[in-house]
């Protein structure tokens, strides 16, 4: 059951939605978006503990909301690709297609709608990702001497990537919307789990060894989450 609540922060109010997960969720999650805050908690977490969680993180939530509001909207006349926003032109035609050339997207559609544009754009991103991301994985794998058994490019809904128990590397196709440095960070992040299957200080030291400025890329993903998914 979803419950909407508010908590005061300074002269402002933070409105948030509480979702109690019926899955085996062990830790609470706070997802901050431009116009809403989602708090996903284990099913048995008390209302008092939830309120304490929000209060403890209120400054962080408020800062994140300000950051999200400063980001360009998904509905502006641009599409995100390799970390940059590019304008697009719409042309009428019988066959729907999208191409990228000379720093601009050329979109051909019979009937324009934001839904049709998003669907066309997402399909284009996935096809490009299937072509380009594995090449980048191979380059990084050879550089850091950690290789994945298999590479899967998927349109993941809530993860940037993962490493399966069998050693297969799963990468979110939407990362092609991010810069190469951000993509490299996710690849390195997951490959390092082949050596250390946790997020201990030892693990982060290993990530830092291969990418000293990984925190910068990690922050970019946090700030641009809405635009990428």
Q: How high is the pLDDT of residue 75?
A: 45
Pairwise CA distance, residues 222 & 82, whole Å: 16
How do 37-42 and 12-21 pair as beta strands? Answer: parallel
Rounded to 5 degrees, φ, ψ at 2 are: -95, 135
144 has pLDDT over 90:
yes
pLDDT digit string (tens) for 10-41?
Answer: 888 888 889 887 777 777 888 887 677 888 88
pLDDT digit string (tens) for 156-214?
Answer: 877 899 999 888 999 999 999 999 999 999 999 999 999 999 999 999 999 999 999 99
pLDDT digit string (tens) for 94-117?
Answer: 888 999 999 999 999 888 887 888
Pairwise CA distance, residues 76 & 41, whole Å: 33
Stated pTM of the model: 0.68
Overall fold of domain 78-228: Zincin-like (3.30.2010)
Averaged pLDDT, 134-145: 96
Q: How high is the pLDDT of residue 9?
A: 82
Pairwise CA distance, residues 148 & 163, whole Å: 8
Domain boundaries, the chain: 2-69, 78-228
């Amino acid at each position: 059951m979803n419950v909407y609540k508010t908590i005061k922060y300074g002269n402002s109010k933070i409105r948030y939605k509480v979702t109690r997960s019926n899955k085996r969720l062990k830790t609470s999650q706070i997802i901050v978006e431009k116009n809403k805050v989602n708090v996903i908690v284990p099913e048995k977490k008390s209302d008092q503990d939830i309120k304490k969680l929000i209060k403890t993180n209120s400054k962080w939530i408020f800062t994140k909301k300000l950051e999200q509001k400063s980001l360009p909207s998904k509905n502006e006349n641009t599409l995100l690709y390799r970390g940059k926003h590019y304008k697009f032109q719409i042309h009428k035609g019988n066959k729907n297609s999208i191409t990228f050339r000379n720093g601009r997207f050329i979109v051909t559609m019979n009937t324009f709608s934001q839904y049709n544009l998003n669907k066309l754009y997402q399909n284009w991103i996935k096809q490009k990702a299937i072509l380009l991301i594995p090449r980048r994985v191979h380059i990084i794998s050879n550089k850091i001497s950690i290789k994945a058994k298999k590479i899967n490019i998927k349109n993941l809904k809530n993860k940037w990537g993962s490493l399966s128990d069998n050693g297969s590397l799963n990468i979110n196709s939407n990362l092609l919307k991010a810069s190469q440095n951000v993509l490299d960070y996710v690849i390195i992040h997951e490959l390092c789990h082949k050596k250390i299957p946790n997020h201990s200080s030892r693990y982060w030291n290993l990530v830092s060894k291969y990418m000293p400025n990984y925190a910068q890329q990690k922050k970019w993903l946090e700030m641009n989450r809405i635009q990428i998914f």
